[in-house]
Structure 1
């Protein structure tokens, strides 16, 4: 079976906006800084070096050292943290929610893309250092998005109430969760390794941020990954000027609204609010709104005058949390960052932000779509070959695939186009006669033509259904295979958890992904495990 990659644009799973971005269409070029190629990083390095406030490096390193103080840390990660002190070190960053046990499989692809890109950059620009950063979305408060994962078609959900930032959420109660999950894993060597990883991450740490850090470090620490929790008062102190401008000037709303208007032909990922900051406490994260000359915390009785909220910002910046519009700016202010790596949805909302970054004079990072892959087995590949399926077939919508294979399997043409063309030619003669008579006869000819064409179309549909019944066994094998590779008729990477593949492949899984995935490629990689 052919092992050619499927381009993102031809996969059928990317939005028109992302396809046009990847094709570097002219109408989008003012919405990003530089397109991610190795050559374009030279200009990005020089611009960030000129623009970045290097005094922020000491704060960043100090915070990271405290966050890693109790973690078994690889030499390479410690080296990367130390390197962040010097002005020839830059970061490549990806972000991800604190999904339970990493959530969907693409968590791995994001981080592997990030680490691999830093390696490529070091090879191209040896005078600089490049550090891979995983930005944990610890301040998000949508617990329903992260409290579950899928394993072999079953959803495992953590039933718990949460209203504040998820990073501060207690891991209490996950002992019972692990007991249920362990029953599905079995007792193999790899199953026991997965259980141990879950146990050490979630049962030996008190909150979700620490648990997720342990998990990511266990999987990627030996590759030099640096994991950052930006829900931190020291880091937010460096962001105070920008949060102050947001409260007083609402620059983000003004600038992003203009870009949203430019993107009106596409589906808009995120719409800005007038103030793009939240008020945050352990069990609270609510929008800050401005009403009747007061700053109010939505759905609460908390309110501030202008002086009061500015005093709070100066004394307790950790009480303020950037939303999806402001968080990218926060990232680029505190990190010497060159590139953000994310999925199509993330890159889409980043494309709304460049004019905002320009207005506040912060370098806009390069935007790279993360790697994607379809993991398969030799057995599945053999099935596909036997059924005469290409990877392009398997990526197509199931209804289209079934129709195509029915046409291929049929011993005679199902398409009645020849008959319809013959009929139209017959009516062409009648139309020429009708022109010489009255309008009523002409209308009757048109109506009869439409009726007979419609009749042939209905026969064509019935013939297709009849052939589907005839070849139902083979078509069922085709759809079963596609359903294995695309669970819930969706991308595997958005449905399955990495543990499903670790169970079969163990410690070989991640090294193989590192070898096969290339950060700057724009294709779905087909990887046989």
Structure 2
């Protein structure tokens, strides 16, 4: 593997301003991203109390079914002794979901190592699995490459209920069909069979989306000691009981300050990432694994769809007795994270940065402090096949992402068109049109009213000319299919559907080509936390 950095135009205004250390953003974040911030935050955490011994036991019980490596055991011991954590998280996608799930975990691990050295104390990597999320349509698919184009491959099982990823049973027969399609699309390499068997075996051991995700992530990162916790893990939910009560007690004020902060963010030109509402309780009620968003109405917490209505006291009792029946949303999840974990820094993507920007005052309501926010690494993987095409075309990855290669493809297609054939067809078009006009004049003179039939007949012939023209164009393109396919390959691999590769494909597409040490070798590269985009050449 070879590593290269490139500077990309940043389309996300908030991310660009955050990297620049803009004073304008000071009101939205507690810290600027700087070494001194980590020292300051570490000192702050020394004055906070966390039951890290219990937390370590909970994480151990969650991870034990997936296998505890020596490094994970070591990190659990450090956590029990009060070590701080770097946290990042993601939904439980199929085959770990898009590549950026892996990129987040890598960022978390590298940042934990870096800060351990700089602070002279053990800092641990922790991955927060958003297993409580219920939008399964976001996680039930991945993309492969078929005939040079991105192809969506989705798990076909559907449910009308808003069940959480952690409570939705896998239909293993249907999931295996999906995995079979995905691996067929990957194509056969010397790694394929072993890789396929591993994935299917891990799926067979899994009961839910979250189980499957956690098993695959643990396989990638167990030797790095990456700790994992599922937000919907019942022992963790019970651990959160007191913290849910804190959120309920301050519920109205949290909603109020978030709405005000988001309005300020919008006034500053950064939009409304969560579209907060003062009546939103920012909590879900969970019944039979299904989530229902609560809102405050007439001094009650209600959801009409679920036909539930709680007084504040009743909701506090739920938090006390059965906290597994509560779940956080985009506002309260960061608050819960701060109350449960000694978070030195949170690693997130551009979308997460935007909604965290609305939450600083919500942290203050609970007498908490927003942690340092660190944008995740951004990577594009370049296979040898793509590398060869880029070299042949004298193009760079940047050229593909910024549209230069697409422009060259269009220019090439225009240059190979048979203009003479088009002119001859256009000439025939004019001749036929003129002959039909002559026929219409004759029929009118003879007082024969067949205009509709004549027009229909004429249109039929003209359509045949268009058809002939399109078939000529197809044959011309077929003659140059190899060159056009090369342009399509680099666009599909590097910037599929006009989107970054890391948001579309899963890591197994590249493991199938590179081999089982793909993630291990990525971790050996000399990454730094930077606003540049990394190119990894396989």
Q: Secondary structure at 2:370's aligned position in 1?
A: coil
Aligned position for 1:53: 49
Are 2:353 and 1:347 equivalent residues in the alignment? yes
CA distance in 2, matches of 1:372, 1:81: 29
Aligned position for 2:511: 502
Which has the larger displacement, 297-306 or 253-262?
297-306
Aligned position for 2:228: 227
- Using a 3 Å threshold, how does the CA distance of structure 1 residues 362 and 238 change in structure 2: closer, same or farther? farther
Shift of residue 141, structure 1, vs aligned partner: 0.3
TM-superposition CA deviations, 1:133-152 (whole Å, max 9, x none):
11110100000000001122
- Using a 3 Å threshold, how does the CA distance of structure 1 residues 404 and 211 change in structure 2: closer, same or farther? closer
Task: Select which of 267, 270, 281 maps to 2:271.
Answer: 267
Give matches, 1:488-527, under 5 Å.
Answer: 488-516=497-525, 518-527=527-536
CA distance in 2, matches of 1:323, 1:261: 19
Pairs aligned (count): 458
- Using a 3 Å threshold, how does the CA distance of structure 1 residues 63 and 358 change in structure 2: closer, same or farther? same
CA distance in 2, matches of 1:401, 1:195: 38
Aligned position for 2:69: 74
Give matches, 1:328-347, under 5 Å.
Answer: 328-347=334-353
* TM value normalised by structure 2: 0.79
- Using a 3 Å threshold, how does the CA distance of structure 1 residues 397 and 214 change in structure 2: closer, same or farther? same
Are 2:188 and 1:194 equivalent residues in the alignment? no
CA distance in 2, matches of 1:232, 1:72: 17
Give matches, 1:277-356, under 5 Å.
Answer: 277-356=283-362
Q: Secondary structure at 1:91's aligned position in 2?
A: strand
Aligned position for 1:35: 32
- Using a 3 Å threshold, how does the CA distance of structure 1 residues 400 and 387 change in structure 2: closer, same or farther? closer
CA distance in 2, matches of 1:131, 1:347: 22
CA distance in 1, matches of 2:394, 2:57: 58
Q: Contact 1:106–1:494 (CA<8 Å) still a contact in 2?
A: yes
Unpaired runs of 5+ in structure 1?
Answer: 410-468
Aligned position for 1:438: none
Shift of residue 170, structure 1, vs aligned partner: 0.8
TM-superposition CA deviations, 1:264-318 (whole Å, max 9, x none):
1112211224210000133310111222343223412222233322222211111
- Using a 3 Å threshold, how does the CA distance of structure 1 residues 197 and 268 change in structure 2: closer, same or farther? farther
Are 2:177 and 1:176 equivalent residues in the alignment? yes
- Using a 3 Å threshold, how does the CA distance of structure 1 residues 257 and 399 change in structure 2: closer, same or farther? farther
Q: Contact 1:36–1:520 (CA<8 Å) still a contact in 2?
A: no
Are 2:520 and 1:481 equivalent residues in the alignment? no
RMSD (Å), alpha carbons: 2.7
TM-superposition CA deviations, 1:213-238 (whole Å, max 9, x none):
21111111111101111324443345
Q: Secondary structure at 1:69's aligned position in 2?
A: helix
Aligned position for 1:164: 163
Q: Contact 2:93–2:209 (CA<8 Å) still a contact in 1?
A: no
Are 2:145 and 1:148 equivalent residues in the alignment? no
Q: Contact 1:252–1:272 (CA<8 Å) still a contact in 2?
A: no
Shift of residue 245, structure 1, vs aligned partner: 4.4
Aligned position for 1:434: none
Q: Contact 1:91–1:133 (CA<8 Å) still a contact in 2?
A: yes
Which has the larger displacement, 175-184 or 490-499?
175-184
Q: Contact 2:189–2:513 (CA<8 Å) still a contact in 1?
A: no
Q: Secondary structure at 1:167's aligned position in 2?
A: coil
Which has the larger displacement, 25-34 or 296-305?
296-305
Unpaired runs of 5+ in structure 2?
Answer: 416-476
Are 2:9 and 1:5 equivalent residues in the alignment? no
